[in-house]
Amino acid sequence: MYEQIQESAEFLRSKTSHQPTVGIILGSGLGGLVNEIEQSQTIDYREIPYFPISTVQGHAGKLVFGKIVGVSVVAMAGRFHYYEGYTMQQLTFPVRVMKALGVELLIVSNAAGSVNGDIEAGDLMFIRDHINLQADNPLRGPNDERLGVRFPDMLHAYDPALLNLASDIAQANGIRAHRGVYVALQGPNLETPAEYEFMHRIGADAVGMSTVPEVIVARHAGMRVFAVSVVSNKSYPISTIKETSHEDVLEMVGKAAENLAFVVKELLVIRNS
């Protein structure tokens, strides 16, 4: 895999003069943040050696290089999910390539269901910790020490300083936001009421089908991580659960996307100053 990562990164360096230090992964319905990228240069996943290709509606499938508030970024518009059939190694390959390009901070977003009675649809939840229930792991298999250590620590998987900053930004600007625990499941079906109840009881605040593999790889690679769930549906207490379609998820996430873009931009402004 090491050689493939280098080849992929080499290809991208030959296509763009941008040298991103921040990587951004945009979740379902959250592609709007790419409109904030200036001097942008877009490269289709199809062109990039060894990149997987996205299959889900609402995910475009391209890398966007450019600047947000003066910071060089590379954004994935369109991410990969385990339920699409990729291996964990395939779906996290772009994170490896970002690292090879010089990315030090990974910002990840997703759509998620709330299993916390205080977290409403449309709210942001800054991920402070996760529970991996995907029953697979991108680090499974022989470890390449050039990419990271065999047993990466996960104590501060989500950068505490960035969490504090994000909370301050949200509070100062009247944005409804929480800190919470994200639990990752395989999907693609949503959860049964009994499963939502279970997620609540094990200490989760939001449920989704992504993010954790990318975060594990980013931490393995020594990157800092900031991750946000945009809550698309409230699924706790279970007596209040409504049927949820993918269209419902995209619609609700679209409404909150502006808040997400605002917080990310402010974070980059402060980090850059």
Q: Do 79 and 54 contact (CB within 8 A), yes or no?
A: yes
* Catalytic status, residue 18: no
Catalytic residue among 18, 45, 82, 84: 84
Q: Do 106 and 224 contact (CB within 8 A), yes or no?
A: yes
Catalytic residue among 8, 18, 36, 81: 81
Q: Do 48 and 102 contact (CB within 8 A), yes or no?
A: no
Given the complex with ligand HPA, which of 92 and 233 has the nearer CB atom? Answer: 233
Given the complex with ligand HPA, which of 182 and 226 has the nearer CB atom? Answer: 182
Site residues, ligand HPA (CB under 6 A): 111-113, 187, 190-191, 207-209, 232-233, 235, 249
| Encoded tokens for 225 | 């991580």
Catalytic residue among 9, 76, 88, 111: 111
Catalytic residue among 209, 221, 227, 256: 209
CA trace torsion 78, 188, 223, 4 (10° rounding): -70
* Catalytic status, residue 200: no
Burial class (CB in 10 A: 0-12, 13-18, 19+), 16: middle
Residues 6+ apart with CB under 8 A from 154: 216, 219
* Catalytic status, residue 81: yes
Shortest spacing between CB 214 and ligand HPA, in angstroms? 15
Given the complex with ligand HPA, which of 19 and 186 has the nearer CB atom? Answer: 186
Shortest spacing between CB 49 and ligand HPA, in angstroms? 31
Task: Report the Cα 237 to chain-centroid distance in Å.
Answer: 26
| Encoded tokens for 76 | 């994935």
| Encoded tokens for 239 | 């007596």
* Catalytic status, residue 84: yes
Shortest spacing between CB 82 and ligand HPA, in angstroms? 12
- C-alpha separations of 202 from 155, 158, 161, 179, 236 in Å: 18, 19, 26, 16, 13
* Catalytic status, residue 111: yes
* Catalytic status, residue 210: yes
* Catalytic status, residue 59: yes
Given the complex with ligand HPA, which of 3 and 243 has the nearer CB atom? Answer: 243
* Catalytic status, residue 233: yes
Given the complex with ligand HPA, which of 101 and 253 has the nearer CB atom? Answer: 253
Give catalytic residues, as residue numbers.
28, 59, 81, 83-84, 111, 209-210, 233, 246
